[in-house]
Structures are given as C-alpha cells and as structure tokens.
Amino acid sequence: MKKTIEDIDVAGKKVLVRVDFNVPLDENGNITDDTRIRAALPTIQYLLDHNAKVILMSHLGRPKGEVKPEFSLAPAAKRLGELVDTKVVFASDCVGAPAQDAVDSIADGEIVLLENLRFHKEETKNDPGFAKQLADLADVYVNDAFGSAHRAHASTAGVADYLPAVAGFLIGKELDIMGKALEDPVRPFIAILGGAKVSDKIGVIENLLDKVDCLIIGGGMANTFVRAQGFEVGKSLLDEERIGLAADLLEQARKKGIKMMLPSDFIVAKELKAGIPTSIVPVDAIPADSMALDIGPSSRIVFANEVRTAKTVIWNGPMGVAEIPEFAGGTKAIAEALAETDATTIIGGGDSAAAVKKLGYADKMTHISTGGGASLEFLEGKELPGVAALNDK
C-alpha cells in the first residue's frame, strides 16, 4: 500500500502536487471540458483545509520542450480560480525565479499553478537536475495525476527522489477500485475490450485471462480474432501480424475455461464516414468490398445479457467507431447494460470514458478512470513508474 495525503502532516508545508490539467481547449484558448480539473479538487481542497501552500504542476498538450503560448496553462489557472474559494497565482514558468517568486507570494491555504512542465524538454527526459529544481519549491510531493502515472517523467517520478512522496485522493481511488477488481473481484467478473488495435491490448488480455470469468471482445480488434477463426473480414481493419497470436489467446481461454465472446454479426459499410449506407451481416459473411465498423444487433443483445449477470465489470475500448452515429449503437448498448446492472462497473479511461459521458451514463458507473494509457498498463499488470515512486505505508 502507498502512503496518501492522509498519512502525513501538511499544515504550514509547501506541497508540490502533480495534477492532470491536460484539458481540451478550443481555438480561442477556452476550456471545452474541465473534468480533469474538477477531478483534482478533492485533493486540492483537502490540502487547503489543512493549511498547506499548494503548488500545482501539470503538462498540457505536446509542446515538445518549447514555449508555445497555445499550450499555456493560464486558462486552467483561470478556471481553477472559479472553482475554489481562495487565491490562485499563475507562475509564468515552472522553475527558476518566476516559480519561486510565485510560491513566495502566497500564504497558507493559497494556490500556485506553475506553467506547462513540457515547455522544458528535461521534463519528459526525467532529468534529475530539472526534478531537483521542481522539488526545491516544496517540502512534500503529492502525485494525483493518474493519467500520467505510466510515464517516468521528472514531475511524476523524478521529484520523488528528493521529497517525501504520497498519493492524492484521485490516484488512491484508482489504485483502490481497479486494484480490488483485479486482485479480489466479486464474481462473476467480466472484462469488455474494444478499440482499434489488438497490439494495444495483448498484455491486457493475457493478464485478464488469469482473472476474469468472461472476456468480451468488440471494436476493430475483434476482426483479428474473427480472422483467426478462419472467417474473411473484407476491407476491415486487421492486424495481419497478430492473427496467430489471436488464435493462441482463443486457445488459452478455452484451456482455462474462460468464456471468450466474439461478435456474431456486424454493421458493415464500404467506407468509414457518416451518412453512408450500412448493412447487417453475420460473422461469416462480411463482403469483400466492405468493412466491419460496429458489432451487430444480435451481438449487442448477447453481450448485454452477459453483462447483466456480472458482479464486477471492467470496460476498455468502444465496440465500434463510436464517434460516427451509424457505428455507435454497439457502444451505446454496452453502456446501457452497464448502467442497468448493480455490479461494480469500471470504465478504463480513454474513448470508453468519453463515450459513457457523451451518452449520459457517467453517473451510473462506479468508477471512470482518468487515465487511458495508465489504466491500460495497470490492467496489464505493469508497475506504473508514477505509483512505484511513492512512499509505502
């Protein structure tokens, strides 16, 4: 178990907090979705209530080590100021005099937000000197950026070499809920995997085959498994190099007595675009000139019925090209089934999280992970550098 902010005394201390304020901005620099800022509020508020000086740091976008005004965190500082009842100072750099002056200017119970960490190339290189500069601003380090915990960067791992390092509430919750699901789930335990690439999910499938009672596969990655069963997939997305591996995974599941469910029908079209004519075909009849772009109505019913039997469900990856209405029905059917169940439902970040929110089912889920890549690596059983760096209880 890792220490959390509740295990240390923060009163009168300068607390450096790695948050994930990598929020989407429109062309005018306005935040279009402040979910990530709101997700950090419990940790920030706890530190304020316990009279800490709160120094927040984050990245935004991919400025690649250069100062690019369109990636400034200034809009995030403004939004945070509207959400908390205290002073928020924005520092024009994350290290050096601008950062130090900003920290010196605040009292206990006030906040500094440092400018984008990735304006410095040393951040992603986990440069020890840069990590030390960040650490010198504070007395304690808190990591609450689960979305970046799978990266060994200066702000996620390096600073922990110089300061006492603990988890914030967000990372604590992620580790608690997803960790329990993987280590000691209430059964039946079902995992639903979708998305485009099999390569992204191989490690996840291999890890979950030792843990789940049933594995449901949809999305573009299902095509590789369908091909491994000897069916043609037309012009569908296909990972040629991993057909053999898909066959091996199907065989592993069979030997372990794990139910592995693949689509029995698909929505197909000749092109991937909105407004295109579509048809429903069984798994063994995908036309040579078409591509499978969503699971079909029979698959939706079978998958949804299976989900309703579960006591624990993890879902990562949409069932089709969910951003196009014609191919969003499968993802919607899974989301609806999860919303109706009384199971512990965990949405593993990324596209599935976006889909659940867009469909209006977010409040019906037990937990929506804030990390796409991080939650995938966690489900794979990998140790996350940003978590490994924290102090043990």
**200 vs 93, which has greater pLDDT?**
93
**175 vs 259, which has greater pLDDT?**
259
pLDDT score, position 197 = 83
Q: What is the mean pLDDT of residues 163-173?
A: 95
Residue 192 near residue 303, CB atoms below 8 Å: yes
Q: Is 197 a catalytic residue?
A: yes
pLDDT score, position 1 = 85
Whether the pLDDT of residue 279 is over 90: the answer is yes
pLDDT score, position 82 = 96
pLDDT score, position 198 = 84
Residue 43 near residue 173, CB atoms below 8 Å: no
**17 vs 175, which has greater pLDDT?**
17
What whole-number distance in Å separates Cα of residue 9 and Cα of residue 143? 16
Tokens of 270: 């000749």
Q: Give one word for 265, left, alpha or beta, with left for phi > 0 and alpha for psi -120 to 50.
A: beta
Q: In the chain, which segments carry CATH 3.40.50.1260? A: 5-170, 178-379
What whole-number distance in Å separates Cα of residue 325 and Cα of residue 341? 25
Q: What is the CATH number of domain 178-379?
A: 3.40.50.1260
Please write the tens of the pLDDT for every residue from 95-135: 999 999 999 999 999 999 999 999 999 999 999 999 999 99
pLDDT score, position 351 = 84
Cα 75 to Cα 28, 34, 144, 200, 350: the distances in Å are: 10, 10, 20, 33, 23
Say what the alpha-carbon torsion angle 40, 30, 121, 67 is, to the nearest 10 degrees: -140
pLDDT score, position 199 = 84
- Identify the active-site residue in 168, 219, 348, 350: 350
Task: List CB contacts of 100: < 8 A, sequence separation 6 or more.
Answer: 137
Q: Is 158 a catalytic residue?
A: no
CATH 3.40.462.10 is the classification of domain 5-170 = no
What whole-number distance in Å separates Cα of residue 385 and Cα of residue 204? 18
Tokens of 164: 């006492």
What whole-number distance in Å separates Cα of residue 133 and Cα of residue 49? 27
- Split at pLDDT 50, 70, 90, the class of 376 is confident
- Identify the active-site residue in 78, 373, 381, 382: 373
Please write the tens of the pLDDT for every residue from 218-277: 999 999 999 999 999 999 999 999 999 999 999 999 999 999 999 999 999 999 999 999
pTM of model > 0.95: no
Q: What is the mean pLDDT of residues 78-93?
A: 97
- Cα 381 from chain centre: 15
Tell me the pairing of strands 367-368 and 344-347. Answer: parallel
Q: Is 348 a catalytic residue?
A: no
Please write the tens of the pLDDT for every residue from 284-306: 999 999 999 999 999 999 999 99
Q: What is the mean pLDDT of residues 338-357?
A: 90
Residue 293, amino acid: L
- Identify the active-site residue in 78, 79, 180, 197: 197
Whether the pLDDT of residue 349 is over 80: the answer is no
The mean pLDDT value of the chain amounts to: 95
Q: Is 61 a catalytic residue?
A: no
116-130, 150-164, 362-376: range with lowest mean pLDDT: 362-376
What whole-number distance in Å separates Cα of residue 339 and Cα of residue 27? 34
Residue 56 near residue 19, CB atoms below 8 Å: yes
Residue 217 near residue 338, CB atoms below 8 Å: no
Residue 206 near residue 242, CB atoms below 8 Å: no
